[in-house]
């Protein structure tokens, strides 16, 4: 009879969520395996058995983050006017990233942070990032297409081109927000960009 082994004594999804938050706060290089062992409260051997090495755990954490963000974005853009949702997403990046109050709201976007830290040298990370960006573009383009049909969004560019612009704007906003810019100036910049999308 094949041995099934002892069941792991921890919740893997909960452990992955904690790892995601630790990597998100500190970055990949600055997070040690011992940091993960301490934060996840698991034995080193159990960590390796469940997730492999640190890099593999990081990639799984980024994949989880990207999936959660796509689900959150789809829910936000599900119905109704598009521009107010886009404005909230851009002026409050944490509304999409899911960061909580306080310093967590200044962690930026984990996908963007991964881009800055690991690309272009890490091919697997690059594949994850590209998939996350493409999911953003597809989801936002679908909402913009709906907005063009209702007369809310300008038809001077394709929804895909507009979504690419918003991806770059969101990533920039998530990065700039980490520096706690003057709120009025930050919002004014977002409003100026969104005005190009509005049907006049």
Segment 53-100, tens digit of pLDDT: 999 999 999 999 999 999 999 999 997 899 999 999 999 988 888 887
Query: CA angle at residue 125 from 39 to 9, to 5 degrees?
Result: 30
Kindly indicate the confidence band of residue 101, based on its pLDDT and cuts at 50, 70 and 90.
low
pLDDT at 157 over 60: yes
Q: What is the pLDDT of residues 173-188, one digit of tens each?
A: 999 988 888 889 999 9
Angle at 87 between CA 84 and CA 93, to 5 degrees: 130
pLDDT for residue 200: 82
pLDDT at 10: 75
**Nearest partner of 162 among 174, 150, 153, 173, judged by Cα:** 153
Long-range contacts of 113-119 (CB under 8 A, 24+ apart): 113/24, 113/27, 114/28, 114/62, 115/171, 117/27, 117/28, 117/29, 118/28
- pLDDT tens digits, residue range 134-144? 999 999 999 99
Mean residue pLDDT of the chain comes to 91
């Amino acid at each position: 009879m094949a041995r099934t082994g002892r069941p792991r004594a921890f919740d893997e999804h909960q452990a992955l969520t904690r790892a995601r938050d630790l990597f998100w706060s500190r970055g990949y290089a600055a997070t040690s395996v011992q940091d993960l062992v301490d934060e996840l409260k698991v034995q080193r051997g159990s960590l390796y058995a469940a997730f492999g090495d640190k890099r593999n755990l990081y990639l799984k954490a980024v994949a989880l983050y990207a999936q959660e963000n796509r689900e959150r974005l789809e829910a936000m853009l599900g119905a109704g006017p598009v521009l107010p949702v886009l404005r909230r997403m851009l002026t409050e990046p944490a509304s999409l990233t899911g960061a909580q109050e306080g310093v967590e709201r200044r962690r930026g976007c984990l996908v963007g942070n991964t881009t800055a830290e690991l690309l272009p040298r890490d091919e697997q990370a690059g594949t994850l990032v590209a998939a996350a960006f493409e999911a953003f573009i597809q989801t936002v383009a679908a909402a913009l297409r709906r907005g063009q049909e209702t007369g809310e969004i300008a038809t001077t560019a394709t929804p895909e081109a507009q979504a690419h612009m918003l991806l770059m704007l969101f990533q920039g906003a998530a990065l700039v927000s980490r520096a706690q810019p003057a709120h009025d100036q930050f919002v004014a910049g977002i409003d100026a960009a969104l005005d190009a999308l509005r049907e006049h």
